[in-house]
Every structure is written in C-alpha cells, then in structure tokens.
Amino acid sequence: MPTLPDFNWTTHINNSPHVVILGAGASKAALPRGDANGKKIPLMQDLAKYLGLRSEIKHAGFADPRDFESVYDNLENTGRNPKLKLNIETAVQSYFESLSLPKRPTLYDYLILSLREKDLIATFNWDPFLAQAFRRNLKGQALPQLAFLHGNVGIGVCTADRGKGFKDSVCPRCGKPLEATKLLYPVSSKNYNADPFISNEWLVLKRFLDRAYMLTIFGYSAPKTDTAAVDLMSGAWTTNKFFELGQVNIVDVKSEGVLEKTWQPFFCRDHYGLYRDLQPTWIMRFPRRSCEAFAMATLQNDPWPDNKFQKLGSLEDLHAWIAPLIAEERVGNFTGTPCPRIPTCWFQNFWRSAHAD
C-alpha cells in the first residue's frame, strides 16, 4: 500500500513538495526573442557562436566548436592551451552576466509565483533569469526554494560560512562580498562533490525529490554528458515514498516517443504527462495549488475547476491576481475557488507589452 502524501483532508493543504527542474529549453521558451536587450539565449551547441569563440576554438585544433563541453573537457584534462580555457571561462561568465529579464511579466515570473515555499525549482542554467524573477516577486508572497545545480551568474557564495545569496550581496555572517559560483566542469568527470556549493545544491534537490508529490521537468534534455546527474535524480525520485501516487510532467518539444524513451525510468505506470509547453501542466492550471488539485482529483475524486493564470501586462497586476490565493494561505484553508479576473483595458495591456522591454 503506497504512503499517502502530507495532505490534510479538512484544510485541503498538501505539504508534499512540487519539484521543478529547468534546463536551457526553459529559458528559450520564456524569452524566445531574447532578453531585455534582445540578446539571444544560447543552447550548448550554439554557445561558441554567441560567445565569439568559434574561430579561436577551430584554430586550437578542435574540429567542431559546437561540441562545447567536449572542447572544455579536453582543455581541462590535458592542460593544453590554458589561454583558450581562460577565454572560454571569462566569455561564459561575461555573456550570461549581461542577460536580464524584460520589465513585462515573463514565463519565469509566472513559474516563480505558481509555487509556494514548500516547493523547489532546481535549474541547470547559468543565466540569471530565475534569480531575477525571484528577486522582483518578493512582495508579500512566499516563494519556492531554489537550487542551482551547475552554478549561476546571479548567485554568489561564501565558502567560509557555507551560505549563498544574490551575486551583489554580502554574507550575513561575515559581511564579506559573495563570490561567483563555478560554472564549467569537465564532462568526462562532473564531480559535483568537489565543489561544496554545488554539492549542497544537489543535496537540496535529493532531499526534496525524496518527499515530492509532483515532478515537472521543463526544457532539460538529459544529455549523455549528464548521465550521472540524471541517475542521481532518478534514484531519489523512484525511491520516494509517494512514487506510486505522484505525477511526472515532461515539458519538451521533442516527440512523445523520444521523451518516453528518455524519461521512462522516472515513470510509474501511466502517472506522467508529456507537453510541448508549460501552459497545460498542473502548475499553470492550478497556480500555488498544483499538489492540492492533483490530490483532490486522484485521492478524493473531487477535482477542482481550473484556475489558469490570467495574462496580464505588469507584475503588479499579476500579484493582484494571485492575492486571493495568498489570503487563503495566510488563513490556512484552501477552497479550490478560481481567482476572479482582474478588469483590464486592452489598450493599456497592449501598450505595456509593447513598451515593457
């Protein structure tokens, strides 16, 4: 008999976490036209081109600059061409540090606001979008925990006090400026335990996966270079005591056949959904209530009506839309009642969207 999630049948509150794992495809989906200044969000195979390093990598004797991780792996393990290795590290840090969210609400803002403090978003991405979205939505609502599995340009660390925070912050214990996190690792031996910060981020993810009720993987392709990472996640999720009741959601543009083959170890029977974008998933259908709505539908056979996010032109309007959900959280009793629509002027929203960037 499977263990029931931490669901209160009276208040309808499910304290079992929803874990979201992000890959580069999530940032591409959130900002298809680029960041606030039109800078493109590169995938790994495009990285050398966007960093302006293709000719330098070719000149160093590498036939395919698109195989960026293998190039860095070779430089790290052989010790040859330390100048190119340094140029790659500097260029990666500089490019991703320069990225910023548009002023208008983005998919990252909706994602951050769709989860609560009991939940976790873990990202493989170097870009600062998740950190920026978290920071600008800290206005009276509890937000999910964050983990940065490959380091992040928006996050800094204090190795002495084993703390993390936003990159431009200081350590609250010693008062020293936080240091940049490590971004690049040789793919042939991604030893996350060698870096205390990265090791801790993986421990956080495993701790949440061990008791999660729902898992959403968005835009992460599970590349062969990350086999060890996928195995770690799979091991934590499949030994989860709620595994036989929980739900896995895969959001990716690949075909269903490819996705089922890739993620099959994560599935329990038919407890999974495959989506091409985030909108039809439980997160967007039931913001801040995904685990509760799933429990009501599957454990009580009493599904709640959808409460899909209203598309709004400003963060202030978005915060106003979720205010009834926040009010319920403060009282400690969830009703499943959809949020009322916020009256908007179509011309005002059009103007905001057109001028927000």
Question: What is residue 2's predicted lDDT score, i.e. its pLDDT?
Answer: 65
Identify the band that residue 43 occupies on the pLDDT scale cut at 50, 70 and 90: confident
Q: What does the pLDDT look like over 272-299, one tens digit per residue?
A: 999 999 999 999 999 999 999 999 999 9
Mean pLDDT for the stretch of residues 114-129: 97
Q: What does the pLDDT look like over 156-173, one tens digit per residue?
A: 999 888 889 998 899 888
Spatial separation of the C-alpha atoms in residues 200 and 232, rounded to whole Å: 14
Residue 3 in this model has a pLDDT that exceeds 80: no
Identify the band that residue 224 occupies on the pLDDT scale cut at 50, 70 and 90: confident
Spatial separation of the C-alpha atoms in residues 108 and 118, rounded to whole Å: 18
Mean pLDDT for the stretch of residues 213-224: 90
Q: Higher model confidence: residue 357 or residue 263?
A: 263
Question: What is residue 195's predicted lDDT score, i.e. its pLDDT?
Answer: 85
Identify the band that residue 345 occupies on the pLDDT scale cut at 50, 70 and 90: low
155-158 and 145-148: which strand pairing? unpaired
β strands within 25-181, DSSP E? 120-123, 145-148, 155-158, 163-166, 179-180
Spatial separation of the C-alpha atoms in residues 7 and 295, rounded to whole Å: 8
Mean pLDDT for the stretch of residues 197-224: 92
Spatial separation of the C-alpha atoms in residues 142 and 210, rounded to whole Å: 22
Residue 198, Cβ density class (10 Å: 0-12 exposed, 13-18 middle, ≥19 buried): buried
Residue type, 166: F
| Exposure string over 233-266, b if 16+ CB within 10 A, otherwise e | bbebbeebebbebbbbbbbbeeeeeebeebbeeb
The pair of structure tokens assigned to 211 is 């008791």
Instruction: Confirm if 215 and 7 have CB atoms less than 8 A apart.
Output: no
Question: What is residue 352's predicted lDDT score, i.e. its pLDDT?
Answer: 52
Mean pLDDT for the stretch of residues 7-28: 95
Residue 1 in this model has a pLDDT that exceeds 70: no
Q: Higher model confidence: residue 120 or residue 221?
A: 120
Mean pLDDT for the stretch of residues 303-332: 95
Spatial separation of the C-alpha atoms in residues 129 and 78, rounded to whole Å: 34
Residue 186 in this model has a pLDDT that exceeds 70: yes
User: For residue 146, which of 112, 186, 183, 193 has the smallest C-alpha distance?
Assistant: 112
Which helix (H) or strand (E) segment holds residue 275: the answer is: strand 272-275
According to the per-residue pLDDT averaged within each range, which of 144-153, 194-203, 214-223 is highest? 144-153
Residue 24 in this model has a pLDDT that exceeds 80: yes
Identify the band that residue 65 occupies on the pLDDT scale cut at 50, 70 and 90: confident
Residue 168, Cβ density class (10 Å: 0-12 exposed, 13-18 middle, ≥19 buried): exposed
Q: Which domains does the chain have, with CATH numbers?
A: 18-35+100-150+185-347 (3.40.50.1220), 44-97 (no CATH)
The pair of structure tokens assigned to 260 is 């089922």
Residue 350 in this model has a pLDDT that exceeds 70: no
Q: What does the pLDDT look like over 66-109, one tens digit per residue?
A: 888 888 888 988 998 999 999 999 999 999 999 999 999 999 99
Residue 190 in this model has a pLDDT that exceeds 80: no
Mean pLDDT for the stretch of residues 36-48: 91
Question: What is residue 349's predicted lDDT score, i.e. its pLDDT?
Answer: 55
155-158 and 179-180: which strand pairing? antiparallel
pTM to 2 decimal places = 0.93
